[in-house]
Amino acid sequence: MLSQLLSIARNTFVESVRQPIYFVIIALAGLLQIFTTWSSGFTMGLTESGEVSGDEKLMLDISLATVFVGGMLLAAFLATAVLSKEIENKTVLTVVSKPVGRPTVVLGKYLGAAGAILIAVVTMLMFLQMGLRHGVMSTASHEVDQPVVLFSCLAVLLSVGVAIWGNFFYGWSFTQAASLMLCPTMIVAVGLVFLIGKKWEFRGIEHIGEDFKPQIALVCLCVLIAHMVLTAIATAVSARLGQVMTLVVCSGVFIGGLVSNYMLGRRAINNDIVARVSEATAETAGQTPLNRNGDTYRVVFEEPPRIRLFAGTPFYYGRNPDGLGLENIGTIPSVSGSPESEQFAAKTGAPGVVVVASDSKGATIRRIGGEGEAVRRPPEKGDFIFVRPTRTNAAALGLWGIIPNIQFFWLVDAVSQNQKIPVSHVGQVAVYGLLQIGVFLSLGIALFQKREVG
């Protein structure tokens, strides 16, 4: 079965990279990167912020969006070419008539198409890296980064030249040869640009970090994962529909995934952020972490709170900005009176945390209520603060979970706002992507099982 799977994947990969649209979209992405470098100098951003600043923020956003859309179109076209068209032409009958299971066919087709998409997206991301190194041409007097121009042109000309030569003398597929050569040559070109400065000075390996952006690399990794999910969706859809409808469905899922947070997410999980924790310390040395009534913490905010926090206001906090998974889940009503009154120590249905004093810089909070485990930990740096429990809508939450959330893979806003992306978060995105791939491939197998191919 493994040999059959690999054979189908290899044939699918070769068929995919030979599609004319494959090289056209890759070349178009590179060409659009040039125009983006010329045309994104209108943000008037002058402040330095993280790995990108000023006009480079807009260029990164536009360039990644180009890669995103280009990969989505490739996924739809390739999946249709390797599965839907074979079903329509009945060439897939020669495969399923042999002792080859239909799940093996779908999985093999996906692996082959995913491999082709991976190479295409990596190539497009190399063009993006060249654009980031060059920088935005804000004015006509902006100095051209000659190493970027030279090595990019050499990579493209070498790939196209070898493809033309091989096609003329050996009958190679031009699209296949040019596309497969462009990926490694662009990777080598980016590596050389990392080693050579804008003034042609050799900087050495120790200076690679000047151009290599770890946070942007994580963003690009998430984009790659998103394209693997989109390829699974296209494969599943093409098991039943033709090319036009596959494009329509993939585009619809893509757009729906981009707006699902706004359309469904805010209704599925609803809460309003009040502030964010910059620092939290216990008021008394050796104090337990909000395990007992009367335990008090001083919380410093990153910015002034969005609403005024009065003494007795319930205080909720957690890692998620949507309010999911709050660390103190006791429902505490607002308490009035002096912070030292008996009301602040009164027994309630469950333990919770309330404000006892606040100002624009922070608040003093205290645990009150009955005994229990409702307060799991004290507030920590980076926590988001709320003044009420998070409300959830089961119907919206279920629908939100079914539609692939493309925003989970779109982390460019974090880089633009100088918010560090933890590697653990990328791991969670990868797990989410694998689950989505599994779901849609299972759907594709189920659809293909009952498909008439004879």
What percent of the chain has a predicted confidence (pLDDT) above 90? Answer: 24
pLDDT confidence of residue 329:
63
Residue 62 pLDDT > 70, yes or no?
Answer: yes
Between 38 and 298, the higher pLDDT residue: 298
- Confidence band (pLDDT; 50, 70, 90) for 28? very high
DSSP state of 138: -
pLDDT confidence of residue 91:
65
DSSP conformation letters of 289-324:
SS-STT-EEEEEESS--SS---TT-B-EEES-TT-T
Mean residue pLDDT of the chain comes to 82
Task: Provide the residue ranges of all domains of the chain, joining segments of one domain with +.
Answer: 2-269+401-449, 272-389
HSE (side-chain half, CA atoms, 13 Å) at 282: 14
CA distances 71 to 32, 156, 222, 231, 423, Å, are 14, 20, 13, 9, 24
Helix (H) or strand (E) holding 384: strand 384-386
Between 56 and 218, the higher pLDDT residue: 218
For residue range 223-236, what is the model confidence (pLDDT) as tens digits?
Answer: 999 999 999 988 88
CA nearest neighbour of 81 among 21, 121, 152, 170: 21
- Confidence band (pLDDT; 50, 70, 90) for 390? confident
Residue 52 pLDDT > 80, yes or no?
Answer: no
Residue 291 pLDDT > 80, yes or no?
Answer: no
Kindly report the number of other CB atoms within 10 A of residue 96's CB atom: 17
Rounded mean pLDDT, 392-405: 83
For residue range 369-387, what is the model confidence (pLDDT) as tens digits?
Answer: 766 666 778 888 888 999 8
- Confidence band (pLDDT; 50, 70, 90) for 354? confident
CA distances 279 to 168, 321, 338, 363, 381, Å, are 67, 17, 25, 11, 5
Residue 47 pLDDT > 60, yes or no?
Answer: no
Residue 42 pLDDT > 70, yes or no?
Answer: no
Q: Are 129 and 34 in contact (CB under 8 A)?
A: no
Between 100 and 406, the higher pLDDT residue: 406
Rounded mean pLDDT, 75-94: 71
CA distance 381 to 359: 18
pLDDT confidence of residue 349:
53
- Confidence band (pLDDT; 50, 70, 90) for 347? very low
All residues at 6 or more sequence positions from 446 whose CB lies less than 8 Å from its CB, including other chains? none
In terms of C-beta distances under 8 Å and separation of at least 24 residues, what long-range contacts does 421-428 make, across chains too? 421/215, 421/218, 421/219, 423/218, 426/218, 426/221, 426/222
For residue range 110-169, what is the model confidence (pLDDT) as tens digits?
Answer: 999 999 999 999 999 999 999 888 888 766 667 788 889 999 999 999 999 999 999 999
CA nearest neighbour of 67 among 16, 15, 117: 117
CA angle at 351 for the pair 347 and 356, rounded to the nearest 5°? 85
Between 193 and 420, the higher pLDDT residue: 193
pLDDT confidence of residue 141:
66
> Which tokens belong to 160?
């196209």
For residue range 234-288, what is the model confidence (pLDDT) as tens digits?
Answer: 888 888 877 788 888 888 888 888 888 888 888 888 888 999 999 988 887 777 7
> Which tokens belong to 65?
């969006």
